[in-house]
Amino acid sequence: MSEEVTVRRACPEDGAALLSMLSRLAEHEGAAEPPRLNENDLARDVFGLQPRLHIAVAVNEDDVPIGFISAFENYSSWEGKAGLHICDLWVELQARGSSVGVALVDLMRAWFPNRRIDAYVVRTNEALGFYERYGFAHESGWCLYRLPSA
C-alpha cells in the first residue's frame, strides 16, 4: 500500500464509518448478532464530556477511514495501577499488511503510556499472529467468563 495513512483521534464525523467497520469486524469474527453500539452511544460514550471508550481511526490521504481501534481504561488490583483493554481493532482488507494496525496500537500506547494492555482475540481470528508479532503474549492460564447483562 503506497498511499499516505494518518492515525488520529476519532471525531463525531467518523461515526457512520466506525459503526460500519465495527459491523464488518463482527461479521468477520462470526458474531451471532450485530454490535449494538449506535450513534447515540458514540455521542455519549466516545465524544461526550467524559469518554468511557477511546477510539483512534486510521484514514487514507482522502481522509477516508480504513481502520480503527477502541479501548477503555481498566484497573489491576494485582498490579495496583491502571491498564488498558483493547475492545476492537479493525483494518480494512486493502490496508492490511501495511502497518496500519501497528500505528493504531502505537497511538493508544502514546495516549496511555506505561500501561499493561489486554486484548481478547477470537481463537479462529488470523489477527492472533498480528498480536504475537507486536509483542502481546498469550495468557494460557486465563479463561474468559462472562455474565450477560439482564
pLDDT of residue 1 exceeding 50: no
pLDDT of residue 119 exceeding 80: yes
pLDDT of residue 13 exceeding 80: yes
Question: Under DSSP, is residue 56 helix (H, G, I), strand (E, B) or coil?
Answer: strand
Please give the pLDDT value at position 25. Answer: 95
Please give the pLDDT value at position 144. Answer: 83
CB 22 within 8 A of CB 37: yes
Q: Which long-range contacts (CB under 8 A, 24 or more apart) does 23-31 make?
A: 24/90, 25/88, 25/90, 28/90, 28/125, 29/122, 29/125, 30/122, 30/124
CB 12 within 8 A of CB 47: yes
| Backbone dihedral angles phi then psi of residue 102, each to the nearest 5 degrees | -60, -45
Please give the pLDDT value at position 2. Answer: 56
Q: What would the pLDDT profile of 52-99 be if each residue is shown by its tens digit?
A: 999 999 999 999 999 999 999 999 999 999 999 999 999 999 999 999
pLDDT of residue 102 exceeding 90: yes
Please give the pLDDT value at position 130. Answer: 94
Q: What would the pLDDT profile of 14-55 be if each residue is shown by its tens digit?
A: 999 999 999 999 999 999 999 999 999 999 999 999 999 999
Pick the CATH number of 6-134 from 3.40.630.30, 3.20.20.70, 3.30.2020.30, 3.40.640.10: 3.40.630.30
Delimit the domains of the chain by residue range: 6-134
| For residues 105-116, average pLDDT | 97
d(CA 90, CA 35): 14
pLDDT of residue 3 exceeding 80: no
Residue 85's Cα: distance from chain center in Å?
9
* Position with higher pLDDT, 148 vs 108: 108
DSSP state, residue 139: -
Please give the pLDDT value at position 71. Answer: 98
